[in-house]
Amino acid sequence: MKKLSMFLVFLVILSACAVHSATPMKPNPNSMVLNIRNNANFDYYTIEVNVQSENAINSGGVMYADGSKIEKGDILGFEYIDKVDFQLIGEKSFVVVLQDKDQLNQVHLEPFTIELAANTDFLFEITGDSMEDVEIRQIK
């Protein structure tokens, strides 16, 4: 019985990793959130966000645990915590990278710069019909 309950807990945790969300993530008082909505007409499986910090590149990515594609309408959130990831003051440039299923082909989208602030969220949208004509634009 104990093994069965451990298995069920593990299964619930794994299934939570693969939830396809259409709800933007909200920031905490000491964080900033970049929400990115997929509105592209082609398949991609991984999204990565890179930001240049003082002496390093802060990079984070999302792919679903079950290996499924990022569905049209899905919103993926990237949270940056003040003084942990970097200070949420001034401006920073971000670069979004999309990858195909095998992670062999990738495209770097046009960099964008935003004003950093704690307790703030942004919404961006990815559009395009292929990896060759993909764009990202700020909605909020």
Q: Write the DSSP symbol of residue 22.
A: -
- Which tokens is 41 given? 């007409």
Bridge-based pairing state of the strands 120-127 and 31-38: parallel
Digit-by-digit pLDDT tens for the chain (140 residues) are 544 344 333 333 333 333 346 788 899 999 999 999 999 999 999 999 999 766 667 888 989 999 999 999 999 999 999 999 889 999 999 999 999 998 888 999 999 999 999 999 999 999 999 999 999 999 98
- Report yes or no: 51 and 93 within 8 Å, Cβ to Cβ: yes
Q: What is the pLDDT of residue 59?
A: 85
User: What are the structural domains, with CATH classification, of the chain?
Assistant: 20-138 (2.60.40)
If phi > 0 it is left, if psi is from -120 to 50 it is alpha, else beta; for residue 128 that is left
Q: Is the Cβ–Cβ distance between 65 and 19 less than 8 Å?
A: no
38 near 70, Cβ under 8 Å?
Answer: yes
